Amino acid sequence: MPFNLLRDSWLPVRRLSGRADRIAPHDIAGGAEDPVVALDWPRPDFRFACLELLIGLLATACPPADDVAWQDWFHAPPAPDTLRAAFAKLADAFTLDGDGPRFMQDFEDIPGEAGGVETLLIEAPGEATVKKNTDLLVRRGRAETLSRAAAAMALFTLQTYAPSGGAGNRTSLRGGGPLTTLVIPPPPRAGPATLWHMLWANVPAGPTPAAAELKRVFPWLVPTRVSDKGGRATTPADVHPLQAFWGMPRRIRLDIVANAAGAPCDLTGWADEHVVRGWRQRPWGTNYETWGGIHNLSPCYRMKAGAELLYLHPQPGGIGYQHWQGLLSRNPPQTMRVAPAVETFRTIRLPDGEDRLQPRPWRLLAGGFDMDNMKARGFTESEIPVHEPADPKAAGEVDEETGRLVEASRLVAQMLRNAVKDALFAPGAKVDADAAMLSALRERFWVETADDFFVQAAALAGGQDVADIRAAWQRVLAATARRLFAEAAPIDASGEGHPGRIAAAARRLSFALHGYGKQGTELFSALRLELPEKATTKKGKRA
């Protein structure tokens, strides 16, 4: 029997009791006595991609007609039979092998020699790296046999996050290694928070596509829109908007063979009747253009106001509260746009009538590959706690004040970097070799102020005095910056290391942190704090 992702039980999950299980997609909302609470893939990129797959599946098969209908299924999840019937309409598009269209694979067979299945993994060393024997940090040969479930997930992950891969190897619809942000909602009125609630919180409302439209939703059901010299770009006007969830930039065919020896999957340990050990590809697949702002799960930015929207990508240093304005704010800068799922949840779905009697915390899950062109530096993820005010009318003001805290942090992080640079290096000295040290210092500043930031953000949502919060945050920033400066630029008791220069830099930093000078004025203005009075000399001159 062909392997079908909507009929077979292939999703590894954890239930509320902690028990591991494997289920079919229609069971994601079932098991009221012991519900599914999380996916259980052994890789974080698989987990994120699988969440996106399931959200896309719900958005395609049974989206809520409006946000009233969304509330109904959030508080009373559908039965497995209801989801099974909805998914059955799409089942033919989710067969991994066989003679017809194959899930996420080229419509036509691809002749030629197969490469090892490990190269489906985004971080796997490339052909040139292996030939030069320079695969030192990420070694070859870690995955030579994949179960069909793991291969399907590797394939979907590659197509969804595809980085640049040489001539003709197209990037994903959102570019190489896009940032994904997912709402983790508070629990429903009754019962625990489950995987269903997280998935459903991120599903957009809209009409269900008709059967005739499915070929425009799933690109593998029709011949590939190639992008060689005679091809053209694929825009939202050329296909169905739901293809945002199902983009297929790479032309790939998996080689699925019988597993006569019963070899286990190298990623999951499952012994499958059929396995994947190789795959074939052809260049010049679908070239997606002008899809900015379409995908429900990714924030965007513009190079300048009015320019095209581009998807955000993780950068070295990870994801933290410093990105709050671009990931969460109801009033982001003109050059930023939060993911539609986050915007919808905060402005429409979370303000839940009588349930909103007190601040309700929820979390934002953000993650993605940190890419350096074709090279994956790592997969980064973070959970950001969010506190909403009890009164939805106060939400805009709370967002504005929270943004001020972030802006103040950004100013102090730059002050700290500049002060350490001035302390350790002579004026005009090149510091290229030490740029990584200075960047690491900034990143450490963000990490060490994060807990205090979320305390102050919760206090804002709780209605505490804004002036007290601003002043408290200034004290946190000043204390952290001074401490990190002292660690990065200590004064040696022997007199080495230019102690005079270090002391002068420390003094300038301290003045700025307390509101003096141009930088201090910027900091106190960002926090709406009153500037300190300047000292005066006996002659009445301002010092």
pLDDT at position 525? 97
Tell me the β-bridge partners of 133.
Answer: none
The predicted structure's pLDDT at residue 505: 96
3-class secondary-structure state, position 254: strand
- The SS3 assignment for 364 reads strand
- Tokens linked to 139: 């070694």
Task: Tell me the pLDDT tens digit for each residue of 254-287.
Answer: 999 999 999 999 999 999 999 999 999 999 999 9
Determine phi and psi for 320, rounding to 5 degrees. Answer: -150, -165
> What domains can be seen in the chain, in order of their start residue?
11-282 (no CATH), 397-543 (1.10.132)
Pairing of strands 300-301, 310-311: antiparallel
Band of the pLDDT at 316, cuts 50, 70, 90?
confident
**Range scoring the smallest mean pLDDT among 138-142, 152-156, 233-237:** 138-142
pLDDT digits (tens, 9 = 90+) for 87-110: 999 999 999 998 899 999 999 999
Q: Is the pLDDT of residue 536 over 60?
A: no
pLDDT greater than 50 at residue 514: yes
The full 3-state SS of 281-303, as one line of letters, equals EECCCCCECCCCCCCCCCCEECC
Mean pLDDT of 196-217: 97
Least trusted range by pLDDT, from 206-220, 247-261, 348-362: 348-362
Share of the chain above pLDDT 70, in %: 92
Q: List phi, psi (to 5°) of 202.
A: -105, 5
> What is the token pair recorded at 127?
């052909």
Query: pTM of the predicted model, to two decimals?
Result: 0.93
Residue 131 pLDDT exceeds 70: no
Question: pLDDT for 378-409, tens place per residue?
Answer: 999 999 999 988 888 888 999 999 999 999 99
Q: Three-state SS for 91? A: helix
Helices 395-424 + 466-488 axis angle, to 10: 20
pLDDT band, residue 431 (cuts 50/70/90): low
Report the pLDDT averaged over residues 442-458: 96
- Average pLDDT score over the chain: 91
More confident residue, 278 or 499: 278
Give the model's confidence band at 16: pLDDT under 50 very low, under 70 low, under 90 confident, else very high.
very high
Average pLDDT over residues 306-332: 92
Confidence of residue 352 (pLDDT cuts 50, 70, 90): low
Is pLDDT at 135 greater than 60 in this prediction?
A: no
| 496, pLDDT greater than 70 | no
Q: Residues 131, 136, 140, 143: what is their CA dihedral angle, to the nearest 10 degrees?
A: -160
Within 8 A by CB and 6+ apart from 23, the residues are 9, 11, 13, 30, 36
Mean pLDDT of 324-330: 93
In the numeric block, which tokens belong to residue 537?
């000399």
**Percent of the chain residues topping a pLDDT of 90:** 78
Distance CA 251, CA 110 (A): 8
CA distance 196 to 55: 10
Q: Do 240 and 212 meet the contact criterion of CB atoms below 8 Å apart?
A: no
Would the pLDDT of 493 be above 60? no
Contact 91, 7 (CB under 8 A): yes
CA distance 241 to 201: 19
47 vs 32, residue with greater confidence: 47
The whole-angstrom separation of Cα 69 and Cα 368 is 31
104 burial via Cβ count (<10 Å: 0-12, 13-18, 19+):
buried
Confidence of residue 494 (pLDDT cuts 50, 70, 90): low
